[in-house]
Amino acid sequence: MNINGKGQILAALTDVFNRWQKLLSNMSEEQFTAPLVPSQWSVKDVIAHLWSWQQVSVARMQAALQGKDPEYPGWWERFGPDPEEDVDRTNAWLYEASRDKAWRQVHADWKEQFERYVGLARLVPEEDLLELGKFPWMGNYALVASAMGSLGHHEEHLEILAKYLQEHNQMKLNE
């Protein structure tokens, strides 16, 4: 996806959030916690995973607004300077850290944080969002790269889940 401005990224984030909400609203309570075989992860675990990683995006957006370095979640430091370098190990740890949480709490946390993230993004001036290297902690990237990462991550898991549900006759993609 090619994003040319703040309005487009905000619209895309809102759209993916709404698509997630629609998909989740068409699911039963049992589907939220049932393993997505052959994976041990459930829909709840996927949402907890997205919530965990979006904490990083929220920290970056908040730092941009406050003019300071991001305050990353505690788990970020556990995996060295860049937890994305060993993403499988990081994801396994995040799964274990949240697997016993109740679905309703996981969903509420994710929903609240996603809405907060979009709200923060609305407050960041467009030039700050799009300027390459504006924030030292983003390296040579623009802050919009973080937003695009969050968007892409949500789209990736949404597509995988929708396909899984369709292939297992648990839901139609167009519901």
* pLDDT tens-digit readout, 97-122: 999 999 999 999 999 999 999 999 99
DSSP string, 27-96: S-HHHHHSB-TTSS-BHHHHHHHHHHHHHHHHHHHHHHHHTS-----HHHHHT-S-GGGGHHHHHHHHHH
- For the question of whether the overall pTM of this predicted structure is more than 0.75, the answer is yes
Catalogue all structural domains in the chain, each as residue range(s) with its CATH number. 6-17+41-167 (1.20.120)
Reduced to 3 states (helix: H, G, I; strand: E, B; else coil), residue 166 is helix
The answer to whether 52 and 94 have CB atoms below 8 angstroms apart is yes
